Amino acid sequence: MKKFQKKQAIFVNRRGFTLIELLVVIAIIAILVSLLLPAVQQAREAARRTQCKNNLKNLGLAVHNFEGTYKNLPPGQIFTLAGYSNFALLDNVSWVGTMAYLLPYLEQDAVYRPFGSNLKMDAKDYEPNSANAQKQPYFNFAAINAVTGTSLPMLLCPSDNAESAKKPGAADFTLWMVRTAGGPLYGGFVMNDELPDPVTRNTAVTNYAGCAGRLVATADELGISSTSPDYRSVNDYEGMLRMNKQKKFSDINDGLSNTIMFGEVTGDFSDGYRGVGRLRSFSWLVGPLGMHYAAKSLAGVTYGGTRPTLEAAKFSSRHTGIVQYTMGDGSVRALSVNTDADVLLRLGGAADGQIVSGLE
């Protein structure tokens, strides 16, 4: 009897959590998680931003190594202007942009090899008066098509998912400044109904593009008269990576640390350019991007609004509030998305004589 009472007493004295206590504990844990989660997300984003910065840094180093070998910079893209204005002459355009030239300096020799052995990679071979008859786009070569779908992690920002555009019905920006059927030159945009999608065409994408300066073509190439006030507005802001040209570091009169070489790009979205409805991304075969739509029109009007054709033509990023750029000296700078249009123009121009100071 005594043993039974002792055991009963022990049983009665044992206590568990009441429902209220349990709810309080759960509430406290939820509060702690809600406080901790943003910090974790910020830490992860900081790590992704650092990785993106390293990618841009490596692109700058690749250009410097290229220049050390060839004594000039890689071309932005090889073309003849006639191929941009006449569909019948598109075979006079290689459609191979800066990134392809840098592949050996990014430890991607196997991906580069078909380009170098099949396609003419010298801008001089595509000059209008060149005697060389081999002027063909990259996609005419089976060996090249076999590697264009290779995803290159060093060309992708970890904060974005540029490859989400690789789906049937989407498009990419491999063919830069293509004229829409029966319409005017469309500022560099491939329309969905005009060309095969990136799955069919087997093209991988990138989050980085070279900087051509204000526009990707010169005033002469665009047919602007030398007596027009727009003539200098275009030519005074030529950038480092030009279409069908190979500049030298000695041409960068504004200083390498004051001139943008590469910047981040995101593409085109159906629900705002920072949304999730991605329509297009940039292929790593794409040519350089101009600062024009990110800055001012030739008439001096600052662009605004959310027109997809303008938003996609800007250097842009999925890092909140900033876009990261590689400067000519290989350093990487983060500029606010609200950076003044004139500042962007001056940073894009390699020899405009307007030095931007005070940047972090």
- Please state the pTM of the whole predicted model: 0.80
Spatial separation of the C-alpha atoms in residues 146 and 102, rounded to whole Å:
18
Residue 34 confidence (pLDDT) above 90: no
Segment 290-298 shows an average pLDDT of 77
Confidence of residue 122 (pLDDT cuts 50, 70, 90): confident
Residue 169 confidence (pLDDT) above 70: no
CB-CB contact of 120 with 96 (8 Å): no
Residue 197 confidence (pLDDT) above 60: no
Return the biggest CA–CA distance within the chain: 116
Confidence of residue 198 (pLDDT cuts 50, 70, 90): very low
Spatial separation of the C-alpha atoms in residues 253 and 274, rounded to whole Å:
35
The predicted pLDDT at position 158 comes to 94
Residue 88 confidence (pLDDT) above 90: no
Question: Which of 11-15, 52-56, 117-121, 280-284 has the lowest average pLDDT?
Answer: 11-15
Residue 305 confidence (pLDDT) above 60: no
Question: Which of 94-103, 208-217, 246-255, 294-303 has the lowest average pLDDT?
Answer: 294-303
End-to-end Cα separation, the chain, in angstroms = 84
Segment 46-72 shows an average pLDDT of 94
Q: Is the dihedral of CA 115, 117, 121, 125 positive or negative?
A: negative
The predicted pLDDT at position 203 comes to 78
CA dihedral 346, 350, 354, 360 (to 10 degrees): 60
Segment 53-63 shows an average pLDDT of 97
Stronger pLDDT, 315 or 177, i.e. the higher one: 315
Spatial separation of the C-alpha atoms in residues 229 and 274, rounded to whole Å:
35
Confidence of residue 187 (pLDDT cuts 50, 70, 90): very low
Residues contacting residue 30 through CB under 8 Å, at least 6 positions apart: none
Segment 82-87 shows an average pLDDT of 58
Stronger pLDDT, 231 or 186, i.e. the higher one: 231
Tokens 């063909």, located at residue: 136
Stronger pLDDT, 280 or 45, i.e. the higher one: 45
Confidence of residue 71 (pLDDT cuts 50, 70, 90): very high
Question: Which of 181-195, 247-261, 343-357 has the lowest average pLDDT?
Answer: 181-195
Tokens 């355009």, located at residue: 93
CB neighbourhood size of 240 (10 A): 31
Segment 260-287 shows an average pLDDT of 79
Stronger pLDDT, 158 or 78, i.e. the higher one: 158
Confidence of residue 181 (pLDDT cuts 50, 70, 90): very low
Residues contacting residue 155 through CB under 8 Å, at least 6 positions apart: 55, 99, 206, 207, 208, 284
HEC profile of the chain: CHHHHHHHHHHHHCCCCCHHHHHHHHHHHHHHHHHHHHHHHHHHHHHHHHHHHHHHHHHHHHHHHHHHHHCCCCCCECCCHHHHHCHHHHHHCCCCEHHHHHHHHHCCHHHHHHHHHHCCCCHHHHCCCCCCCCCCCHHHCHHHHCCCCCCCHHHCCCCCCHHHHCCCCCEECCCCCCECCCCCECCCCCCCCCCCCHHHHCCCEECEEEEEECCCCCCCCCCCCCCCHHHHHHHCCECCCCECCCCCHHHCCCCHHHCEEEEECCCEEECECCCCCEEEEEECCCCCEECHHHCECCCCCECCCCCHHHHCCCCCCCCCCEEEEEECCCCEEEEECCCCHHHHHHHHCCCCCCCCCCCC
Residues contacting residue 59 through CB under 8 Å, at least 6 positions apart: 102, 106, 208, 261, 262, 326
Residue 57 confidence (pLDDT) above 90: yes
Across all residues in the chain, what is the average pLDDT?
Answer: 77
Residue 58 confidence (pLDDT) above 90: yes
**pLDDT cut 70: percent of the chain above it:** 71
Residues contacting residue 329 through CB under 8 Å, at least 6 positions apart: 60, 256, 257
The predicted pLDDT at position 135 comes to 67
Spatial separation of the C-alpha atoms in residues 355 and 352, rounded to whole Å:
8
Residues in the chain: 360
The predicted pLDDT at position 85 comes to 58
Mean pLDDT: which of 11-20, 116-125, 177-186, 197-206 is highest?
116-125
The predicted pLDDT at position 53 comes to 96
Confidence of residue 341 (pLDDT cuts 50, 70, 90): confident
The predicted pLDDT at position 68 comes to 94
One-letter amino acid at 94 equals S
